[in-house]
Amino acid sequence: MEYNVVIAGFGGQGVMLIGELLAHAGMDEGKEVTWLPSYGPEQRGGTANCAVVVADEPIASPILTEPQAAIVFNRQSFDKFEPVIAKGGLLVMDSTLIDRKSYRADLDLVYIPATDIATELGNSKFTNMVLLGAYLGKVNPISMASVHGALSVFLTGKKAALIEVNKRALQAGVDFVNKK
């Protein structure tokens, strides 16, 4: 089985981090993985996206022309990736920041107020984890335990104190999609 997803937003929103978490967690489970980042010309505030593939078999290409899923943080990313998701695919979007509904009736759509949920958890910077949790609540390419393990790889030093709240943010995303 192969799972692939595009994750997109502005630089500084944690787009690359959740892509790296997915790839690292998949690698820890012995799966084949690719993580392909793409940055706009600016670092912070510019566009950023990454493609992640997690598979049981060797991966032919890390380039996704018709991804199975997209996690989008903002309207610009929504407009760019909504049209290219494969029919029957999944679109997870932050409805706090995206002010329109999808025109695609052939997708599984998750409108989650991720920024609002993250703010309730203490900081809007946890939005990325809420969105990742929503994705993992719908699609299960890797276990949540592996994602939790990957957190300790990427959140080190002073950021290690944020591991538990990041786990709560992941769970908040899972809980949101499971209550529907």
What kind and span of H or E run contains 5?
Answer: strand 2-10
Number of domains in the chain: 1
What is the Cα–Cα distance from 19 to 10, expressed in whole angstroms? 14
**Coil, strand or helix at 40:** coil
CATH number at residue 51: 3.40.920.10
Q: For residue 180, what pLDDT band results from cuts at 50, 70 and 90?
A: low
Return the percentage of the chain with pLDDT > 90, whole number.
87
What is the extent of the structural domain holding 152?
2-178
Read off the tokens for 58: 């060797």
**Residue 102 in this model has a pLDDT that exceeds 90:** yes
Q: Is this model's pTM higher than 0.85 or not? A: yes
